Structure 1
Amino acid sequence: MNIIFSLLFMTFSISAIASPESKLYVEIKNDDICIYTNDPKSDYYNGRIYLYMGEVHTELAYQSSYNATYHHIKIPKSFADCIAIKNSNFKHNIPYDINLDMNKAYSQRICVSKPNGKIQLTKVVDGYTCGKEKYDYSGKNIFEKIITWIKSLLI
């Protein structure tokens, strides 16, 4: 009986230790898409940061659309140090997976749209469809959003 409990405990312990990708934070900065980890422990992997991005389609496999390797840049732990991806790398109203490989993996699925000529992020609905309404991938709480909004009015 102790052997069964030990095996069950080890099974659940192993699955609890395995960590999936961490959340990648996304905001718009100067009409480009800016990504960061919001993780003070994020660091380089072998002196590099790897960025992969691809379109998401229901009928097709993952299609890589952009990738980059960064050396000697400031680690994108916050919005102030985010990595910018040019808006021209995105087709509008198509979901994209963005992956940042560092000392651990960070990932986010986003949609980019351009209603009225202004870039905005929209929610991914059902994993494969872009919604119509603006969506916040920054992870900010309501207080932080109010402060950001006030700062934007003052600038």
Structure 2
Amino acid sequence: MTDELKNAHSQRAIQQGLVKEFDDLIEELNVEKQSAMLHCANAGGALISAHRSALNAYADTQWRMVINNLSPALVRAVKLKLLALSTVSYQETQSGHYVEPAKIVSAEIGKALVGAASIGQFNMDAEPVLEKIGTHSPALPGVDMGLLQSPIKRQLLAQKLSQRIDSNNE
């Protein structure tokens, strides 16, 4: 073999070694990237869950405060409506169209409150707790939403990463 052929062969061997080394580095970076994305998805899920819990706890507290301080005029009106609806004959209660007065009043109150709430707005200047909690789940830019929303995908990715790490350690 000539020196030129030996040099060319050596260069090919070095290049193949470098290609293998770069492939291994790329694989390692991909594993690290997927692992980081898995951690981000897990942390994002925990953050969204914490937000939901805080918002629900605050809403429940506000609900109980209002329920405990119902307007006497509203209570009187409900009582009067129940009385009026309960003045039916025995035959009417036996008909297939009879609805208990409490169900009718509950539906009417619910409809009125939900309608009013749908057009109501929060004054965030007067809502320091709600301002801190936020009315929407926190944004998670850069997080794979498919991974965030699917515990099965996270579990499968964790298993895949574990297998890759185990096979690389062998």
Do they fold alike, i.e. is TM over 0.5? no
Name the structure, 1 or 2, with higher relative contact order (CA <8 Å, separation 6+). 2
Structure ranking higher in helix proportion:
2
- Structure showing greater Rg: 2
Structure ranking higher in strand proportion:
1
